[in-house]
Amino acid sequence: MIDFRDRVAVVTGAGSGIGAATAHLLSAAGADVVVVDIDACAAERTADDLPGRAIAVTADVSREEDVDRYLEAAVEAFGAVHLHHLNAGIAGPADPLPDLDVADFDRVLAVNLRGPFLGLRAAFRQYRRQDTGGAVVITASIASLRGSHDLLPYQISKHGLLGAVRGGAMYGGPIGVRVNAVAPGLVPTGLASDDLLQRGRTVPQRRTGTPDEVANAVAYLLSDAASYVNGEVLAVDGGAASV
Ligand code: NAD
């Protein structure tokens, strides 16, 4: 049984989908949770629904000042931060490669790649201040693990996260910080289009996943049960990445 009592967790993009599911699981296991989302109402809704102590912070993870602010709010509310699920992300355009717009590309990279970089840096700064170890999980994607002809900015951003996980793990290992990723396959949330979800029928398990199934993997990686797992990218995709 995973136990997060006496742990403070930040979950970004926790207003809905996979982040909300993680926030619920961590809270049910005893963590104090900082619910971060760009959508203020969604963040409040998740925080209000959690069984344990929680605060909601409205922040855009791609903005340095917002990331600093959510961390300050977490420390002010709960005194420390031990766990980070850097999860916020956007799908971006599905245009064919020749038609892609640079501004759209930049926005996807800002949220999906600069956001986790800023979150990772803020986490490590906080661990240094606290003089504690900790654990970070980044939400990558099946799009980090294999190629696809569509959602190219998304795919590029999600491949970039593998560098954040591996570099973070190497940096964090000697100081007691583990950095891992989950790589979800198709999960019905606000982010996944109906077209995309149709492909769920072709994965080995012949269905899409659920936010709770991804959250279970996140909770495992954040927990002491994964105390010797570092720099790992755990696919939660019904076997899709291996075919
Ligand atoms: P979702 O749209 O339900 O949740 C994403 C949340 O992030 C939303 O609440 C949104 O408001 C928030 N958000 C968006 N931009 C933000 C920003 N700049 N700052 C702060 N919050 C922001 O979708 P989801 O599927 O739960 O997505 C969560 C993560 O899972 C994303 O990183 C996504 O890429 C990844 N993922 C999803 C799938 C899938 O099939 N749903 C598959 C692989 C990976």
According to the model, what pLDDT value does residue 124 have? 98
Query: CB of 190 closer than 6 A to ligand 1?
Result: yes
What is the separation of C-alpha 243 from the centre of its chain, rounded to a whole number of angstroms?
Answer: 24
Nearest CA to ligand 1 atom 10: 13
49: how many CB neighbours lie within 10 A of its CB? 13
Place of tokens 């982010």: 191
The per-residue pLDDT for 242 is 85
Q: Is the CB of 17 under 6 A from ligand 1?
A: yes
Q: How far apart are CA 122 and CA 171, in angstroms?
A: 14
ipTM: 0.99
| Domain residue extents for the chain | 8-234
Q: Select 8-234's CATH number: 3.90.580.10, 3.30.43.10, 3.40.50.720, 3.30.420.10.
A: 3.40.50.720
Contact 148, 158 (CB under 8 A): no
- From 191, 199, 218, the mutation candidate for ligand 1 (largest count of ligand atoms within 8 A of CB) is 191
Report which residue type is found at 66: D
122 CA → ligand 1 middle, Å? 20
- Please count the other Cβ atoms lying within 10 Å of the Cβ belonging to residue 179: 28
Instruction: Check residue 186 and give its pLDDT.
Output: 94
- Looking at this protein, which amino acid is placed at residue 163? G
pLDDT of residue 137: 99
User: Per-residue pLDDT for the chain (243 aa), expressed as one digit of tens each?
Assistant: 789 999 999 999 999 999 999 999 999 999 999 999 999 999 999 999 999 999 999 999 999 999 999 999 999 999 999 999 999 999 999 999 999 999 999 999 999 999 999 999 999 999 999 999 999 999 999 999 998 778 999 999 999 999 999 999 999 999 999 999 999 999 999 988 888 888 888 999 999 999 999 999 999 999 999 999 999 999 999 999 888
Read off φ and ψ for residue 96, nearest 5 degrees: -60, 150
Provide the annotated active-site residues: 154
Residue-by-residue DSSP string for 116-184: HHHHHHHHHHHHHHHT--EEEEEE--GGGTS--SS-HHHHHHHHHHHHHHHHHHHHHGGGTEEEEEEEE
Q: What is the pLDDT of residue 111?
A: 98
Tell me the DSSP string of 42-88.
Answer: HHHHHHHH-SS-EEEEE--TTSHHHHHHHHHHHHHHHS---EEEE--
